[in-house]
Structure 1
Amino acid sequence: MVSVRVEDVWMLFGNVKALQGVDLEVREGEMVTLLGPSGCGKTTLLRVISGLYKPTKGKVYFDSEDVTDKNPWERNVGLVFQDYALWPHLTVYDNIAYGLRLRKVEQREIKERVRGVARLLGIEELLDRYPHQLSGGQQQRVALARAIVINPSVMLLDEPLSNLDAKIRINVRTEIRKLQKKLNITSIYVTHDQEEALVLSDRIVVMNHGRVEQIGTPFEIYYHPKTLFVADFVGQVNIIKGRINGMDESRHLIEVDSEIGRVLVSSDQDVKSSNEVYLIFRPEMVEVSKVKPREDNESTIVEGMIDAVQFLGNILRADVAVGEKRIRVELHNPLFREKFSPQDRVFVRIPASNIRILTG
């Protein structure tokens, strides 16, 4: 088990800057997820860490050792790919044992380690089968077993669940998290799936255009985004443009003139009067009702009309038109909630403490 440190890493492919001055530290035993849209540089960064790519500039350290010029097998990394990369002509046993044989491990030890990891992942009964005889979830477990059996210093996973059906993906990601914690392997996981990142990670690295936008715990990334990109990319969010009008010191509130009218925001944020700002709040952090709620000193109430309704089972998602702007609202347990339909006149209550201010 080692820590991983990336210092000022750049990766150029001709004129394309795939990575631009990336700094990152992954602690021992930590699960860190690289999250971002396609082309943001997350897979390139993973390949630099693995040794498949040598960076144009910068350094990679495992603990205090500079491994920038070392090959993948010299770094002792376990790799799990999106397409699993299983040998079709080898049995499950031989696929798992492949890395051990390359390392010239004794046959008795190979047998013990392969059966041990197969038992851990619940695939003992599959050892004599071939990859084409396995389901997608079973193939994924074999790929994980092959990476784990070599006792890697670092495990690197490149969108390993993207080829699985949604229900299987949920089950396998839970297994990966439990397994990583049980084995305490330093792990770096690449995905573009925000929910996957929130569920799996100790910390998330949000990337965009080859740069790191923000690093933080899932809670910090979701509730305290530092940039508009992070706020918009991770989960559903409302983004309202506005300009600070003034401060109400007695109530510790900021008054903002916005696209939906005057909005009150908790003043525990460092902003200056008259600044152009963006108001950020999550759909589940507001209330909607057909009856106007009682006015209070710590909320904003706006009137609008239901524009669209989406029933998602455990969530009812509604878009409320307030003038030219749309506010997204999410209601949990819709069976026990007030019923809404398009064209309904409604009132949206936005607590001042639930709004975050960003300056762009």
Structure 2
Amino acid sequence: MVSVKVEDVWMTFGKVEALRGVNLEVAEGELVTLLGPSGCGKTTLLRVISGLYRPTRGRVYFDSEDVTEKNPWERNVGLVFQDYALWPHLKVYDNIAYGLRLRKIPKDEIDERVHRVASLLGIEDLLDRYPHQLSGGQQQRVALARAVVINPSVLLLDEPLSNLDAKIRINVRTEIRKLQKELKITSIYVTHDQEEALVISDRIAVMNKGFIEQVGSPLDIYYRPRTLFVADFVGQVNIVKGKVAEVAPDTGELVVESEIGELHVSADEKASKGEEVYLAFRPENVEILRAPRGGSAGLLEGRVDSVQFLGSLLRVDVEVGGKRIRAEIHNPARAGLFSPGEKVYLRVDPGNIRVLKG
């Protein structure tokens, strides 16, 4: 196992700055996901780490060794691509064994390693087939086996599941996570799928316009976003503008006059009276009531705009002060359905509201 360190990396293609001063550290045996929209620099950063690109500026380290000028095979990285990149004229066994043969590994050891990794991924019965005889999920398992059979120092995966349908994608991502933990391979995983990133990662690096906005655990990224971009990109969120009306001197709790009404906030971020802020809160943290209860502090009055019944989940959009606020109710059979036009009241616990600066 090795650690990976990216230090002040810039990557320029002509006039386009694909990466702008990126810094990232990945611990031994950790799986870190690069998450962000198309064109944010995720794949470019992965290619710099792999050695496929030389950065315009900055350095890449594996442990304490500077590998910036080394080729991919000199870094001993395993690569898994979006399009699988399997050799169509080679059987599955030979596709998996390809990297071992290039390294001139003895035949008996090749056979043992190919069968071991095929067993781990449940593809032993596919070894005598050609890629065109496999499903997409099976091809992806073969690509993963080929990458890990060389015992890579670092495993790099670039949107590996994007060509699979939803059900197979869930199964394969579970297998990838299980394999990564079992083999304890330091791994960097690129995706634009937020759910995938939340499920598979030890930590997530959210990227935007060539730099990293925030690095943190899935819980941190989801519940404690540090920027408006991270809050808006990861999951469903309500964001409202406001101005700080009061700051409690003892607790630091804020009273914010927002565009939907007065909200009480237990702020992690310090704010001053009169300061303009943004408030972010998740739909599942919005309590929706048919009648006021528990006092009027922080209670918002609105009317139901639309209702989406999703079986175990009910999404209710409520118009409050001319702005649409989304609430989500799990197990809606217990709460009952709401109707468009119905008058309702909303409450958000102060501890579930995140204060963000513009």
TM-score above 0.5: yes
In 2: Cα distance, 1:231 partner to 1:316 partner? 22
Deviations 1:21-45 (A, max 9, x none): 0011100000000000000000000
- Whether 2:285 is the aligned partner of 1:288: answer no
Partner of 1:353: 351
Partner of 2:125: 125
Query: Any idea what SS the aligned residue of 1:39 has?
Result: coil
**Over aligned residue pairs, what C-alpha RMSD do you find?**
1.2
Task: Return closer, same or farther for 1:250/1:9 CA change in 2, 3 Å cut-off.
Answer: closer
Partner of 2:69: 69
Deviations 1:104-134 (A, max 9, x none): 1111111111011101110000000111111
The one-letter code of the counterpart of 2:64 is S
In 2: Cα distance, 1:131 partner to 1:311 partner? 41
Partner of 1:228: 228
- Whether 2:169 is the aligned partner of 1:137: answer no
Aligned counterpart for 1:314 among listed residues 309, 312, 315:
312
Partner of 1:90: 90
The one-letter code of the counterpart of 1:235 is G
CA shift, 1:247, in A, is 2.2
CA shift, 1:267, in A, is 4.5
The one-letter code of the counterpart of 1:32 is V
Deviations 1:74-128 (A, max 9, x none): 0000000001011111110010011111111111111111011101110000000
The one-letter code of the counterpart of 1:126 is L
CA shift, 1:248, in A, is 3.7
Aligned counterpart for 1:331 among listed residues 329, 332, 339:
329
Unaligned runs of 5+ residues in structure 2 are: none
Aligned counterpart for 1:303 among listed residues 301, 308, 315:
301
CA shift, 1:312, in A, is 2.1
The one-letter code of the counterpart of 1:305 is R
CA shift, 1:249, in A, is 4.3
Query: Any idea what SS the aligned residue of 1:300 has?
Result: coil
Pairs within 5 Å for 1:268-279: 268-279=268-279
In 2: Cα distance, 1:160 partner to 1:250 partner? 50
CA contact (8 A) 2:261 2:321 kept: no
Query: Any idea what SS the aligned residue of 2:298 has?
Result: strand
- Whether 2:224 is the aligned partner of 1:218: answer no
CA shift, 1:268, in A, is 4.7
Query: Any idea what SS the aligned residue of 1:198 has?
Result: helix
Q: State the number of aligned residues.
A: 358
In 1: Cα distance, 2:139 partner to 2:311 partner? 31
The one-letter code of the counterpart of 2:37 is P
Deviations 1:181-220 (A, max 9, x none): 0000000000000110010111100000001100001111
CA shift, 1:250, in A, is 6.8
Deviations 1:47-79 (A, max 9, x none): 000000000000000001110000000000000
The one-letter code of the counterpart of 2:30 is E
Task: Return closer, same or farther for 1:268/1:187 CA change in 2, 3 Å cut-off.
Answer: closer
Task: Return closer, same or farther for 1:293/1:184 CA change in 2, 3 Å cut-off.
Answer: same
- Whether 2:39 is the aligned partner of 1:39: answer yes
Task: Return closer, same or farther for 1:267/1:13 CA change in 2, 3 Å cut-off.
Answer: closer
- Whether 2:11 is the aligned partner of 1:11: answer yes
The one-letter code of the counterpart of 2:140 is Q
In 2: Cα distance, 1:125 partner to 1:54 partner? 40
In 1: Cα distance, 2:16 partner to 2:167 partner? 37
CA shift, 1:269, in A, is 3.4
The one-letter code of the counterpart of 1:312 is L
The one-letter code of the counterpart of 2:68 is T
Unaligned runs of 5+ residues in structure 1 are: none
Q: State the TM-score, normalized to the length of structure 2.
A: 0.98
- Same amino acid, percent of matched pairs: 71
Partner of 1:183: 183
CA contact (8 A) 1:253 1:266 kept: yes
In 1: Cα distance, 2:340 partner to 2:241 partner? 25
The one-letter code of the counterpart of 1:83 is D
CA contact (8 A) 1:293 1:347 kept: no
Query: Any idea what SS the aligned residue of 2:34 has?
Result: strand
CA contact (8 A) 1:281 1:356 kept: yes
CA shift, 1:315, in A, is 1.2
The one-letter code of the counterpart of 2:152 is P
CA shift, 1:353, in A, is 1.5
CA contact (8 A) 1:289 1:338 kept: no
CA shift, 1:311, in A, is 1.9
CA contact (8 A) 2:247 2:272 kept: no
Deviations 1:280-333 (A, max 9, x none): 11100110021222316xx51111111111122221111100121111101111
The one-letter code of the counterpart of 1:340 is F
In 1: Cα distance, 2:105 partner to 2:333 partner? 59
CA contact (8 A) 2:47 2:53 kept: yes
Partner of 1:263: 263
In 2: Cα distance, 1:180 partner to 1:304 partner? 48
CA contact (8 A) 2:268 2:355 kept: no
